Amino acid sequence: MAELVTVTDPDDPRLADYRDLRDVQLRRHLEAEHGLFLAEGEKVVRRAVEGGHAPRSFLMAPRWLDGLADVLATTGAPCYVVDEALAEQVTGFHVHRGALASLERRPLPGVADVLDGARSVLVLEDIVDHTNVGAVFRSGAALGFDAVLLSPRCADPLYRRAVKVGMGAVFALPWTRLPDWYDALPQLGAAGFTTVALTLADDAVDITDAVAGVDRLALVLGTEGHGLSERWQSAADRRAVIPMAAGIDSLNVAAASAVACYVAARR
């Protein structure tokens, strides 16, 4: 059972994991160096713990204790009980969903482990927006994908905002980071996957046709601004597009990935 510890001093060093949550640079350093990440909201905190991440501590206002009592019962980590004004003072923002947890990251699995048994895999190249990374995880999990691979420069899916937007899908889908960017797609090919890149390239074919008959599929998505790199576009086995109305910009990456996952999962 977590020990409940009432904290009234915003400078209490035990709250260090929860400081300045809106300062992305600071959080990146802090989380990497301490091997932690934050979960926010009752549902997401629960999923993080149930997903096997050991809690370092919890931070919440008293009114959230009951809802998470069963989760708190499973751990010896301390639960810092604070009022909402102090929570805001420490974190730097109004914690709408009340409950926060700091949890331990785990070593990332190898690519082969993540691919083992997977039939439909998402591969994200350099998506730098945490909101988009979270949205892609959520859509992938909801629409039938089995795993996610991230390029070396893709944003951290355990960053608080990505976890939150993804509603904890990052705990449901096996994922890891690709060690190599340049040959990532040929290596997926060698592992038995057909790589299909979503792109606006001239030779892209309708996504429905591109995935038809594919057994093991790696669906490759790039960032909103620049799309996929030339290297990944040319290295993919197939290039696919979501047919769109004339004169309209591309969909944003969250919408495009949802449609692409929906179509691909029904191949």
Nearest approach in angstroms of CB 230 to a second copy is 24
Q: How far apart are CA 95 and CA 89, in angstroms?
A: 10
Q: How far apart are CA 22 and CA 2, in angstroms?
A: 27
Q: Which is nearer to a second copy, 27 or 47 (CB)?
A: 47
Q: Which is nearer to a second copy, 80 or 171 (CB)?
A: 171
Q: Which of residues 114-153 bind a second copy (CB under 8 A)?
A: 135, 138-139, 141-144
205 binds a second copy (CB under 8 A): no
- Alpha carbon 183 to its chain centroid, in Å, reads 23
Nearest approach in angstroms of CB 137 to a second copy is 11
Nearest approach in angstroms of CB 172 to a second copy is 7
Q: How far apart are CA 121 and CA 146, in angstroms?
A: 6
Residues 6+ apart with CB under 8 A from 170: 134, 137, 157, 158, 162, 163
Q: How many residues sit close enough to a second copy to count as binding (CB under 8 A)?
A: 28
Going by C-alpha positions, the residue among 123, 239, 225, 133 that lies closest to residue 183 is 123
Q: Which is nearer to a second copy, 121 or 184 (CB)?
A: 121
Going by C-alpha positions, the residue among 266, 262, 263, 260 that lies closest to residue 124 is 260
| Strand pairing report for 147-150 and 194-198 | unpaired
Q: Which of residues 218-247 bind a second copy (CB under 8 A)?
A: 242, 244-245, 247
Amino acid at 3: E
Q: Is 49 helix (H, G, I), strand (E, B) or coil?
A: helix
- Among 16, 30, 61, 172, interactor with a second copy by CB under 8 A: 172
25 binds a second copy (CB under 8 A): no
Nearest approach in angstroms of CB 5 to a second copy is 32
Q: Which of residues 32-71 bind a second copy (CB under 8 A)?
A: none
Q: How far apart are CA 81 and CA 93, in angstroms?
A: 17
Chain positions contacting a second copy, by CB under 8 A: 135, 138-139, 141-144, 165, 167, 169, 172, 242, 244-245, 247-252, 254-259, 262-263
